[in-house]
Amino acid sequence: DAKTTQPPSMDCAEGRAANLPCNHSTISGNEYVYWYRQIHSQGPQYIIHGLKNNETNEMASLIITEDRKSSTLILPHATLRDTAVYYCIVRAASWGAQKLVFGQGTRLTINP
């Protein structure tokens, strides 16, 4: 699996947009970009994923650069409950390549 690089920590004010960057310069053509988060010691929570087009759901938006070498997760109106470790993962969508390889992630702290 391609490796990803994320800043170890970020801070954001409550109510503002949180923009979390991720570099995945060695991503392959068949690999998707996934974002998960882990709040405190709970089970990881799926947020969003995409291949090359920008994606949006009720939780977040995912912006993938045209060359697919980096992406940004956007939480439009961060709340205190968004404080968590955010993981950017690349993974192929094929049999035998199903496992998620977690890096160290970004520890996002939302401040009141």
| Contact set with another protein (CB under 8 A) | 32, 34, 38, 41-46, 49, 51, 87, 93-96, 98-105
Shortest separation between residue 70's beta carbon and another protein, angstroms: 19
Q: Which two tokens stand for residue 6?
A: 């994320």
Shortest separation between residue 104's beta carbon and another protein, angstroms: 6
Q: Which is nearer to another protein, 31 or 82 (CB)?
A: 31
